[in-house]
């Protein structure tokens, strides 16, 4: 089972929801501690595309490289970040339903080294606190828009 997970129903069409969610530059609107994100590779979004994400955590700015590892519009995409023995992979799944679009995310935390392995429960709590409500925020932002395509 994934370390982190959530599901939300968004009352908008599948393509519209995927398009907005998979555009990582929208992260500043759905993740409250993300203050800046910029694409750092050339070309269209695809596996291997990288973004530099900056977050404010407890009054301090921290940046990480976020890499697209899977990208299959309009059904799924996955991103990962790696740093100092910690790798986090978020996977997003989009499903067309009668009510709109069902969005599910899972987050897997991988650690190497004894200190990181011992810290995993703390890291999980921190990530849950930082990112735990981002699908609810995604729903709020997308449903408030008339049309976002």
In a domain, 126, yes or no: yes
In a domain, 107, yes or no: yes
pLDDT (0 to 100) of residue 148: 47
Q: What is the dihedral of CA 140, 141, 147, 149, to 10 degrees?
A: -130
pLDDT (0 to 100) of residue 83: 86
If one counts the domains in the chain, the total is 1
- CATH code for the domain of 15: 3.30.530.20
In a domain, 111, yes or no: yes
Determine the average pLDDT of the residues in 94-115.
Answer: 94
pLDDT (0 to 100) of residue 2: 87
Q: How many CB atoms sit inside 10 A of residue 82's CB?
A: 15
In a domain, 45, yes or no: no
pTM equals 0.90
Residue span of the structural domain in which 97 resides: 4-31+72-144
pLDDT one-digit tens code per residue, 21-64 = 999 999 999 998 999 999 999 999 999 999 999 998 778 898 99
In a domain, 113, yes or no: yes
């Amino acid at each position: 089972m994934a370390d982190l997970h959530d599901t939300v129903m968004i009352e908008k069409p599948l393509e519209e929801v995927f398009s907005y969610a998979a555009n990582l530059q929208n992260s500043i609107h759905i993740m409250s501690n993300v203050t800046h994100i910029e694409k750092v590779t050339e070309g269209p979004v695809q596996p291997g595309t990288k973004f530099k994400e900056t977050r404010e955590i407890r009054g301090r700015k921290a940046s990480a490289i976020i890499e697209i590892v899977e990208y299959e519009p309009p059904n799924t995409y996955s991103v990962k970040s790696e740093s100092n023995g910690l790798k986090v992979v978020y996977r997003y799944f989009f499903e067309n339903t009668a009510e709109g679009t069902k969005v599910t995310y899972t987050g897997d935390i991988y650690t190497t080294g004894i200190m990181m392995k011992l810290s995993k429960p703390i890291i999980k709590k921190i990530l849950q606190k930082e990112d735990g409500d981002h699908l609810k925020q995604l729903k709020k932002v997308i449903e408030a828009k008339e049309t976002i395509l």
